[in-house]
Amino acid sequence: MEAFNKIFKQALTNICDVKIDDWDLRVPATLWANKKTCKNITGHTSFRRVYGQEVVVPMEYIVPSLRIATFTSMDDSNAEADRIRNYWRLMRINSL
């Protein structure tokens, strides 16, 4: 536990380097980043060790990955067109 606290403290310090006042708002994002970071010793993320599979990030639902397409039984003929359409929609949104 002490090793995790050391890593967590360092990550929070790096994130809150400029604005230290909002460190408490950064805790969930820091914990999430730690859970989905691959550990050198095990070769797996903490999330995979607990749940037996890799975490699905929200972006994978917006632009479906192969894993999501397989899980939701997405038709391959429509999947590629959907991905391209979603990609361009996101590019337009980000350019605004």
Residue 3 CA from chain centroid, whole number = 23
Domain with 20, as residue range(s), is: 2-51
Same structural domain, 70 and 34: no
Do 30 and 67 belong together in one domain?
no
pLDDT-derived band at 76, boundaries 50, 70, 90: low
Give me the pLDDT at residue 61, please.
Answer: 67
Residue 12 near residue 23, CB atoms below 8 Å: yes
Residues 83 and 63: beta-carbon distance below 8 Å: yes
- 37 shares its domain with 21: yes
The predicted model scores a pTM of 0.50
Residue range 19-57, pLDDT digits in tens: 777 788 888 888 888 777 877 788 888 888 888 888 877
C-beta separation of 55 from 45 below 8 A: yes
Q: Is residue 86 a contact partner of residue 63, using CB atoms and an 8 Å limit?
A: yes
Do residues 40 and 75 share a domain?
no
Domain count for the chain? 2
45 in the same domain as 8: yes
One-letter amino acid identity for 30? T
